[in-house]
A and B are shown apart, each in its own frame.
Chain A
Amino acid sequence: MRTSIVLDIVVQLDAFNLEVHEHLNSEVVALFGQTGSGKTTMLETIAGLQHALQGEIRVGSHLLFSSRAGVDVPVWQRRVGYVPQDVVLFPHMDVRRNISYGHSPSSMLSFDRVVDLLDIEPLFPRPIAVLSGGERQRVAIARALLSSPNILLLDEPLTGFDNAFRQEALRYLGRLRNELDIPMFYVSHDKNEILEIADWVIVIEQGQVECAGEPCSVLSGHA
């Protein structure tokens, strides 16, 4: 069953306000738009790293923020798997300790399943510093998945990689989409990526939702 997501927020930014009023029911929601349009802010607001002025954020039955009800769940209790664009693996921990960081025994996903799903095992003996960009992405996604998230937030996971890597990464992301029941927000500049992975897209310009819908119909009008 698909998880419903309510995203009804106003966030104050330096140059403009980010305003989103969407009720979603999709597996993978892509956020598409120019750099600086507010996509990352939207993810960070869901994660609790930025604060909304007003509105409501709800993932399934979990109310994360409501200005009307005075609810603002702390970051560490939100259960969002956030993978920022700069990945941010803990440099003082090895791969195993990194992905175990948020893992609890009551986790929906087992350690072995996530390791298998993202093909992490060959990376265990290697120090964090020598992992390639793609390997770091997989470790960061595994770490986020093992924290039992209700939603996965991926900020431009494939930006800056060559085509071969992008194809491989899309294969992994496709596996996550098909085998796990976790809704995903996926920030990207790339129409092809979105067409391949997402089943809903929100186009943002200057903090406003320009349009939203199925990727093939929405993106056909965008250069």
Chain B
Amino acid sequence: MPVDIWQISWFTILVACMATLIMMPFGIATAWLLARCTFTGKTALETFVSLPLVLPPVATGLILLRLLARRGPVGRLLDNAGIEFLFTWKAVVLAMAVLGFPLLVRTARAGFEQVNQRYELVAQTLGASRLRVFFTVSLPLASRAVVAGILLAFSRSLGEFGATVMVAGSIPGGTRTLASGIYNYVEIGQDANANALLMISIILAFGAVWLSNHIARSANH
């Protein structure tokens, strides 16, 4: 198998892992917030979080591109700080994280909602602060759903294409991922390479989704 196939595969796994790690604290906190708290603007937050699920990924990518462009509100700050972001691996990580985030939040939220609130209330009467209750009661009891959500978000990151191409392109040895690699190889007629990436994508996606479903099912029992 050509060297660049392995490079693309390892790069995709690596950036998907980084995107998942970045998503985890924010995604779990958002899931808990939506499951347990009532506040003004909750519906707006729910909608905003779910938006990348229903928007075309290319549209999400375009929004990110506008934000991160040199003259964009975030891009200007990054430029002033001397940080190059667009069309680098960092942009790939961001695109993957944004697209995977709603899956993590929705799955983890369902897990937190299934935890009997009496456990949390009794833990508080035993002197535990809300933060301690979260780490010692809520999170362990929702852990299977949270892990299933993390795996789903990771799977989504592995397959991300539209937003990634918008903000990071498909630079060989730089930002090319499994999805963008398949597209590029098919476009230039290198079917053998496209098929090899396809097989790797299927194996990785199957493994991650299978594991996620397995964990989610055992959580329901």
Binding site for B on A (CB under 8 A): 47-49, 74-82, 84, 86, 88, 90-92, 101-102, 104, 143-144, 147-148
Given A91-B141, A92-B140, A79–B127 Cβ distance below 8 Å? yes
Query: Which residues of the other chain, B, contact A74 by a CB distance below 8 angstroms?
Result: 124
Chain A residues with Cβ below 8 Å from B116 are: 88
Q: In whole angstroms, how far apart are the Cα atoms of A111 and B118 in the complex?
A: 24
B118 cross-chain contacts in A, Cβ below 8 A: 84, 86, 88
Q: Which of A78, A81, A102 contacts B128 (CB 8 A)?
A: A102
Inter-subunit contact B123/A101 (CB<8 Å): yes
A49 to B126, CA, bound (A): 12
Instruction: State whether A102 touches B127 (Cβ < 8 A).
Output: yes
B70-124 contacts to A, CB under 8 A, are 116, 118-119, 121-124
**Binding site of B, secondary structure by majority: helix, strand, loop or mixed?**
helix
Binding site for A on B (CB under 8 A): 116, 118-119, 121-130, 136-137, 140-141
Query: Whole-angstrom distance between the alpha carbons of A101 and B128 in the complex?
Result: 8
User: In this complex, what residue of B is CB-closest to A44?
Assistant: B121
Query: Is B126 within 8 A of A144, CB to CB?
Result: yes
A76 and B119 in contact (CB under 8 A), knowing A90-B137, A91-B141? Answer: no
A-B contact pairs, 26 of them (CB 8 A): A47-B125, A48-B124, A74-B124, A75-B121, A75-B124, A76-B124, A76-B125, A76-B128, A76-B129, A77-B127, A79-B127, A80-B125, A84-B118, A86-B118, A88-B118, A90-B119, A90-B137, A91-B141, A92-B141, A101-B123, A101-B126, A143-B126, A144-B125, A144-B126, A147-B125, A147-B126
Q: B residues within 8 A CB of A143?
A: 126
**Is B140 in contact with A82, judged by CB distance below 8 angstroms?**
no
CB pair B121–A49 under 8 Å, yes or no, is yes
Q: Are B119 and A88 in contact (CB under 8 A)?
A: yes
Q: For residue B126, which residue of chain A has the nearest CB? A: A102
Majority-rule SS of A interface residues: loop
Q: Which residue of A lies closest to B125 (CB)?
A: A82
Of chain A, the residue at the smallest CB distance from B137 is A90
Beta-carbon contact of B122 and A88 below 8 Å = yes
Whether B127 lies near A104 (C-beta < 8 A) is yes
Docked pose: A92 CA to B122 CA in angstroms? 14
Please indicate the chain B residues that have their CB under 8 angstroms from the CB of A47 in the complex.
Answer: 125
**Chain B contacts of A101 at CB under 8 A?**
123, 126, 128, 136
**In the bound complex, CA of A75 to CA of B125 (Å):** 6
Question: Once bound together, how far apart are the Cα atoms of A79 and B128, in whole Å?
Answer: 10
